[in-house]
């Protein structure tokens, strides 16, 4: 449906400025996710919404940007650009959420990626509720991978006036090049974000194409199901090669190779033109984050791993 809109685009309406609120897209989100259209803020990718959040809440050094580690690296980058003070709290063993320490950091904004990258775990709704109740600032739940997960924190935006849930068209909708993401929160919270959003952050093409993709929920869900099936198979196949594989709610798995040889395997795969993610940092240096590919791509990966492990 997105491609059909792109092919039949009327060049005439590119003469005019786009709608600053991308309302056509908001109404598609409203229908798909059952939220009011004026509870949606649209960004040039969800990275744009993250940036707007940090600028609105935490510019300067009085109050911090807070998040558990390891997580999405851009929170740190965007905070450094303001600059804003950052407080990073390590996850507890087995990716338990360090709620007390997150609360004690008194963030102007606290980010929780759920499902998280690179671990792939989802934070429970009970933990998110407790955090929402106790944090003094905004709680931003970054659901970039929600389309591959078993549950979503979206209902929390109606329960808590300080909660915003972020989504993207880049992962589940396969539209990373379009640059379209959005946040869902009550209009009072959004009003503060609209003050610092660029007026025309969403172009007319992204609004129209994104709206078509959002309305085409059946196609997105069918694709996400394929990813989930490949994820399950890839996890089993990796375990059969001796990897420890965390249960994942995202479109990648975090896997620990047999002899902790993550870096050697990463380099060997790279030499063969297979790109996986290796993080040379505490707690991750013995692991690889592997995106779920097509069954054929996964097979190519497995064969390369078998030869590298021999």
Ligand X SMILES: *Cc1c(COP(=O)(O)O)cnc(C)c1O
For binding to ligand X (CB under 6 A), which residues are involved? 45-47, 72, 113, 117, 142, 144, 168, 170, 176, 181
CB of 198 to ligand X, least distance (A): 15
Taking the least distance from each CB to ligand X, the nearer of 50 and 103 is 50
Q: Quick one: three-class SS letters along the chain? A: CHHHHHHCCCHHHHCCCCCCCCHHHHHHHHHHHCCCHHHEEEECCHHHHHHHHHHHHHCEEEEEEEEEECCCCHHHHHHHHCCEEEEEEECEHHHECCHHHHHHCCCCEEEEECCCCCCCCCCCHHHHHHHHHHCCCEEEEECCCHHHCCCCCCCHHHHCCCEEEEEECCCCCCCHHHCCEEEECCHHHHHHHHCCCCCCCCCHHHHHHHHHHHHCHHHHHHHHHHHHHHHHHHHHHHHHCCCEECCCCCCEEEEECCCCCHHHHHHHHHHCCCCCECCCCCCCCCCEEEECCCHHHHHHHHHHHHHHHC
CB of 111 to ligand X, least distance (A): 9
Taking the least distance from each CB to ligand X, the nearer of 46 and 122 is 46
Taking the least distance from each CB to ligand X, the nearer of 24 and 47 is 47
Tokens 């396969």 belong to which residue?
Answer: 174
Taking the least distance from each CB to ligand X, the nearer of 47 and 147 is 47
Taking the least distance from each CB to ligand X, the nearer of 52 and 135 is 52
Taking the least distance from each CB to ligand X, the nearer of 24 and 142 is 142
CB of 264 to ligand X, least distance (A): 26
Measured between alpha carbons, how far is 184 from 167 in angstroms, rounded to an integer? Answer: 8
Burial of residue 199, with CB atoms counted within 10 A of its CB: 0-12 exposed, 13-18 middle, 19 or more buried: exposed
Taking the least distance from each CB to ligand X, the nearer of 56 and 202 is 202
CB of 166 to ligand X, least distance (A): 7
Measured between alpha carbons, how far is 280 from 14 in angstroms, rounded to an integer? Answer: 45
Taking the least distance from each CB to ligand X, the nearer of 45 and 257 is 45
CB of 50 to ligand X, least distance (A): 7
CB of 76 to ligand X, least distance (A): 13
CB of 170 to ligand X, least distance (A): 3
Backbone angles phi, psi at 246, to 5 degrees: -75, 145
CA torsion angle for 79, 252, 228, 127 (degrees, to 10)?
-50
CB of 225 to ligand X, least distance (A): 20
Residue showing the smallest CB distance to ligand X in the complex: 45
């Amino acid at each position: 449906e997105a491609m059909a809109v792109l092919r039949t685009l009327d060049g005439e309406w590119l003469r005019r400025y786009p709608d600053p609120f991308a309302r056509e897209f908001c109404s598609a989100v409203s229908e798909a996710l059952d939220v009011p259209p004026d509870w949606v803020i649209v960004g040039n990718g969800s990275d744009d919404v993250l940036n707007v959040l940090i600028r609105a809440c935490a510019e300067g050094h009085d109050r911090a940007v807070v998040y558990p580690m390891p997580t999405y690296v851009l929170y740190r980058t965007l905070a450094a650009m303001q600059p804003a003070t950052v407080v990073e709290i390590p996850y507890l063993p087995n990716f338990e959420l360090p709620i007390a320490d997150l609360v004690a950091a008194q963030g102007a904004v606290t980010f929780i990626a759920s499902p998280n990258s690179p671990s792939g775990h989802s934070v429970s709704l009970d933990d998110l509720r407790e955090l929402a109740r106790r944090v003094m600032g905004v709680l931003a739940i970054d659901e970039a991978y929600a389309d591959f997960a078993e549950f979503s924190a979206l209902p929390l935006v109606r329960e808590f006036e300080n909660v915003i849930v972020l989504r993207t068209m880049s992962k589940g909708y396969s539209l990373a090049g379009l640059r379209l993401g959005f946040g869902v929160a009550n209009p009072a919270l959004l009003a503060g974000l609209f003050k610092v959003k660029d007026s025309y952050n969403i172009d007319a093409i992204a609004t129209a194409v994104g709206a078509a993709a959002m309305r085409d929920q059946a196609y997105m869900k069918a694709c996400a199901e394929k990813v989930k099936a490949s994820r399950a198979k890839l996890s089993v196949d990796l375990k059969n090669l001796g990897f420890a594989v965390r249960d994942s709610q995202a479109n990648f798995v975090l896997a620990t190779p047999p002899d902790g040889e993550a870096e050697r395997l990463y380099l060997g795969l790279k030499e063969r033109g297979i790109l996986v993610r290796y993080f040379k940092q505490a707690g991750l240096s013995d692991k690889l984050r592997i995106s779920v590919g097509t069954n054929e791509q996964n097979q190519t990966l497995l064969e390369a791993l078998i030869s590298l492990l021999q």
